[in-house]
Structure 1
Amino acid sequence: MTYRTDLVTAALSRATARSARAAEVARTTFLSDTIAYAARLIRDVLPAAAAVTVDTDEKELHEVRDADGNTLWHAPVSGPGHKFNDSLVADVDDLLREAIPFGGLAAAGWKTSAKGFPYRDVQLPEPPPATRHARAYVRHEDAVLDVHADLAPADQSSFTLQDRFGKDLRETRDRVRAAISNAGYAWPDGELIVRLHGAGEPSSVADLAIACAILAAAGHIDRAALKRTVLLGELGLDGQVRVTDQTRAGVRFSDLCGYKRVIVASTAVTTCPLIPGGTVHGVLDLRQAVDRLALPFTD
C-alpha cells in the first residue's frame, strides 16, 4: 500500500518535530541553568559543594555533599547559626520548584539517588576558572589557521570574533552563535574573544573549528581532544555541518601537515581521500562533532 502525504500535512509534521526538539532543548537548558545558579548560591557559603540530592516530590533541596561524598548540609538542619541559612535554602528551593515540574530530569543528568525515588542526585558544575583558553585547527590549501578562544568572567557577556588582522567577522560570528544555541548548548557567560591566527583567508569551512574551540573554552569539550584534530565544515544556523569546496582538498592537506584525525560533514566522507594510519570522521551536526571528540583517539 502506498501512503501519500499532502504538502501542507508534511510541512506541519516537520514544524511539529522542530518544535518538539526545541522544547526538549529548552527544557534541558533550563534545568542546567537552574543547577548552575543554585550551585553559585550554595558555593557562596559552602565552597566545597560538589553534589546535591533533591527531593523531587517536595521540590526541595535534601542534601549537599563535597567531592568525597561527605555531607556538608542536610535538611532540615539550617537556621540563623548555619552558614547555609534558611533564607539561602529558600532561594534554592524556589529555583527547584520552578524547574522540576517541566520534567526531563533523567535526560538532564539527574540520577535516581541511592535513597530511591523521589530523591535524585545532581552533580554541580565545576566553578569556572578565571580564564579558559581553547585552541582548534583549520588546515587547507588556502588557509593554515589556529583558532584561539578565550573565555573570561565579566559582568556583561560579549562575543568578539576577529581574523588575523583584527577585522571583525560579524557574519561568521552570528552564524556560529546560532548554530551553537540551536544545537542545544547554553551560550557561555562572560567575555568571549575568538581570534584566528596563521596564514590565509578564513572562510565558512572554519565554522566547525570556531564552534568547537568556543565549546571547549566553555567546558563542553575536553580541550586536549582538539590538539591533533583538524575540523573542516560550514555550519548551518540549525547546527548542521555542511561540506564546502575546501573540504576534500583540506583532508589531503591535513594529512600532508601530519594530522591523523579530520572531522568533516558526513556527506563528504565517501569522497574524501584516505589518511594512512589516520581517520576521517563524518558528522551530521555540531552535537555529533562534540560526541566524536569525546571518543579516545590514538595515532
Structure 2
Amino acid sequence: MSTPRHSAHAATSTEDTTRWWATAVSDIEPGVIRLRGYPVEQLIGSVSLVDTIWLMLRGDLPTTTQRELLEAALVAAVDHGPQAPSIAAARMAATCGVGLNSAVATGVNLLGDVHGGAGQQCLALLDRLAGHDAVPLEETVAAELADHRARGEHVPGFGHRFHPVDPRRDPLVAAVRAAADAGHVTGRHLAAALELERQLAAGRNRPVPMNIDGATAIVYGELGFDPELSRGLFCLSRSVGILAHAWEERSGGRRIKGPLPPPLLPDYDGPEARDLPSGRMAP
C-alpha cells in the first residue's frame, strides 16, 4: 500500500496562506485599494505620478525638495534617441508584429550593466566616497581613481561617446547644489562627484565630462536611494522614451525594420565562397 506524500507545510492555516504574499505596499480588498495606507481615491487628483513613485518606493509622500529632485532626474533620463541600443531594439521590435508592450519590454530588457547600468555603478562608488569621514575627500577620491586605473577600468558616470558636455549635467548639479545650500540634502554625494570630475580632468587637454549616469547618481544618492533601485528608476524613466519611439515606429507602418536601411548589408569578413568537398555531399 502506498503512503500519501505530505509536504512539511501541507497543514497550513488560513493565516499562513494569506501571509504568503504579505506586503506593505498595497492593501486590496473588495471595494478598497490603499497604497501604503492611503486610499487611492484620495490620491487620484491630489498627488502627482512622481509623488506616487516616491510613495510606493519609500513608504510615504515626499517633501517638496524630494519631489523636485526626483522629477528632475526622471525627466533628464527619458530619452537619448534611436542610436541608443534600447530604443533601436524597441523600434525594430515594433515592426515585427509583437504587441506594443513587447516592443517596450524589448528595449527595457537591453538596459544592462553596460547600457543603462552605469548610474547604479556610479552611485555605489559615490556611496563609498561619501561614507569616508576619517580621510579627506581629495585623498579618498585619488585612491579610488588609482585603483580604477590599476584595474584598467573606466569610472562609471563620467565620459560620453557623443557629447563633449552632457547637457543634462548642469541643471541636475545645480538643483542638488541648491537643495544642499538650503539644508535639504547633505551634499556629500555632490561633493564626491565634483571631486571625481575635477581629478579626472587634471592634466588633460579635454575634461572627462560627467554624464547622465553620474548626474542622476548624485540625485539618487542625495535622496537616499539604494544603487540597485537607482537603475530601476532609470529604467522607469527611459521606458517613457522607449514607448514613444516604439509607438512612432509602429505608426509608420514599416515591416521588419532591421538595423541597416535596404539595400545595405553588413560587411562580410569571413572565408571566400567555397564548395562543400564532394566526399561530404549527400548521395
TM-score range, shorter chain: under 0.3
TM-score by length of 1: 0.21
Greater share of strand: 1
Greater share of helix: 2
Q: Point out which structure has higher relative CO (alpha carbons under 8 A, 6+ apart).
A: 2
User: Highest Rg: 1 or 2?
Assistant: 2
